[in-house]
Amino acid sequence: KEKYGYQPEYIQAVEEFLTTVTPFLEKNPIYCEKNILGQLIIPERLIEFRVPWMSDSGEWMVNTGYRIQYNSALGPYKGGLRFHPSVNQSIMKFLAFEQIFKNSLTSLPIGGGKGGSDFDPKGKSDGEIMRFCQSFMQELQKHIGPSMDVPAGDMGVGGREIGYLYGEYKRLNGYQAGVLTGKPLTFWGSLARTEATGYGLVYFVKYLLQDKGDALKDKRVMVSGSGNVAIYAIEKAQELGATVLGCSDSSGYIIDEDGVDCELVKEIKEVKRGRLSDYIAAKPNAKYVENASIWTENIAYEVALPCATQNEIGLDEAAILIKNGVKVLAEGANMPTKLEALHQLTDSGVIYCPGKAANAGGVAVSALEMAQNAQRLPWTFEQVDSELDSIMKNIYETCATTAKEYAKEDDLLTGANIAGFERVAKAMLAQGLV
Ligand code: NDP
């Protein structure tokens, strides 16, 4: 903490993890004796680089690029690329650290990594995005490969960006479909990858509720964000009979008590790349609130799905969620809930589903994309979706069982951290000091 105090998100993620794994370490002192925890906290490799590019008006621009290759005990480094102005080393390290345990929980052979840049894609032309992606890949390609490190998308990096990144990689290294995941379907992307994180999140909640003798049908749900994760969480929740009351972007939020029109949100955000405020023009009965967090809205709902960004829910928002009657909070985003808010929520009986378990569907399908690329065979949507469903069921059950063994029922954070850690730690121990 003394050394990395200037990296608050990284400290937050490590602290949240360390506070929960003690019961496992007490039962298994070998991991302390061999200092596995000490090794795990330090990334295997941290790459930071310059990304020069030219704007449409001929200006010489520069951004910082990152790739954190955190842990390869279970397989090639795997994790998304984020393009957002808030990106810095602290955010990259927290995301890569979380990714280790998330990937471990999928039970698939993937290590943990993350990368990105402080480049802001908002308002940039297609040509600018392409030139930036090409420059970013000119450096990144030295460090990645299908058996070495396989990046994917994250905030600000969707099919278009992955396409440009892949094109540049191919120009420099030749055809290697398995070097990136989240690729468009036209060149070996996986069906259901676009939907995977949002659908997977809802499958996780489905299995949790099923375990309690309940279901998503007729539940009222609130979602933050209106990007990739949010849109497909809304779609699947509604397919399972829930009503999604609202969603948001970084400018404000909408409330539509008839249920959010998911196709309209897709049209605004995915096709027109516009603002959520445009929703009102087509749905005058809905309300739009500018420059405010959706978690400050006073309205009754049972399920909260934060799918926008880190630290969206602090103590004030948590108090409103409790007042609104929330029973389950499942994280589509990475670390959207601050540590103190998380404790306030669980103390009030809210079941908290940590992102590293609940949003693991995206990376799980990315690993299935790697498998399809290695086989050179595409799987059907139904095949991938059904694998995703059973992976999420398995993650839920693993977290729930581990929680009961080491902490208490419904302490899914402890369950996820210990189960994720155990698999990585065993592999590290077996592989020795490397
Ligand atoms: P997108 O870029 O597609 O969408 C992000 C959404 O969040 C946008 O609607 C954006 O609004 C909104 N947003 C960003 N910052 C804020 C803010 N400060 N306040 C309110 N809204 C905000 O990203 P994804 O959907 O891919 O990712 C969302 C989260 O899910 C991230 O935490 C990511 O790490 C995590 N995640 C993503 C996975 C994936 O497969 N994509 C996998 C696992 C986790 P605007 O349009 O205004 O920018």
Domain holding 93, by residue range, is 41-178
What is residue 344's predicted lDDT score, i.e. its pLDDT? 98
In a domain, 20, yes or no: no
Together in a domain, 199 and 345: yes
Mutate which of 68, 222, 228 for ligand 1? The one with the most ligand atoms within 8 Å of its CB, which is 228
Q: How far is the CA of 307 from the centre of ligand 1 (A)?
A: 6
In a domain, 53, yes or no: yes
What is residue 92's predicted lDDT score, i.e. its pLDDT? 98
Cβ–ligand 1 distance for 357 under 6 Å, the answer no
pLDDT along the chain (434 residues), means of 10: 88 93 95 94 97 98 98 98 98 97 98 98 96 98 98 95 98 96 95 97 98 98 97 98 98 98 97 94 97 98 97 98 98 95 97 97 98 96 98 98 97 97 97 89
In a domain, 123, yes or no: yes
Smallest CA-to-CA distance from 315 within 286, 285, 345 is with 345
What is residue 1's predicted lDDT score, i.e. its pLDDT? 79
Cβ–ligand 1 distance for 337 under 6 Å, the answer no
Together in a domain, 273 and 320: yes
What is the value of ipTM here, to two decimals? 0.99
What is residue 281's predicted lDDT score, i.e. its pLDDT? 96
Together in a domain, 116 and 238: no
* Alpha helix positions (H), 300-411: 315-324, 339-347, 355-358, 361-375, 381-406
The span from the CA of 161 to the CA of 126, in Å, is 10
Q: How far is the CA of 145 from the centre of ligand 1 (A)?
A: 26
What is residue 3's predicted lDDT score, i.e. its pLDDT? 86
Residues contacting residue 174 through CB under 8 Å, at least 6 positions apart: none
114 is catalytic: yes
Measured torsion, CA atoms of residues 16, 319, 321, 391, in degrees rounded to the nearest 10: 10
Q: Whose CA is nearest to atom 44 of ligand 1?
A: 333
Together in a domain, 296 and 340: yes
Q: Whose CA is nearest to atom 16 of ligand 1?
A: 250
Q: Whose CA is nearest to atom 7 of ligand 1?
A: 308
In a domain, 416, yes or no: no
Average pLDDT along the chain: 97
Q: Whose CA is nearest to atom 35 of ligand 1?
A: 333
Cβ–ligand 1 distance for 307 under 6 Å, the answer yes
Smallest CA-to-CA distance from 51 within 128, 148, 138 is with 138
In a domain, 139, yes or no: yes
The span from the CA of 138 to the CA of 140, in Å, is 6
Question: What is each CA distance from 12 to 8, 17, 132, 232, 310, in whole angstroms?
Answer: 6, 9, 31, 28, 11
Strand order in the sheet with 60-71: 45-54, 60-71, 111-117, 77-83, 149-152
Together in a domain, 149 and 259: no
As for how many domains the chain has, the answer is 2
In a domain, 406, yes or no: no
CATH classification at residue 239: 3.40.50.720
In a domain, 112, yes or no: yes
Cβ–ligand 1 distance for 333 under 6 Å, the answer yes
Cβ–ligand 1 distance for 226 under 6 Å, the answer yes
**Digit-coded pLDDT (tens) for 50-109:** 999 999 999 999 999 999 999 999 999 999 999 999 999 999 999 999 999 999 999 999
Q: Whose CA is nearest to atom 21 of ligand 1?
A: 250
Cβ–ligand 1 distance for 250 under 6 Å, the answer yes
For the CA of 193, the closest atom of ligand 1 is 40
Residue ending a domain, among 329, 349, 369, is 349
Residue ending a domain, among 115, 148, 178, is 178
What is residue 4's predicted lDDT score, i.e. its pLDDT? 86
- Catalytic choice (78, 102, 114, 183): 114
Structure tokens at 369: 């994309």
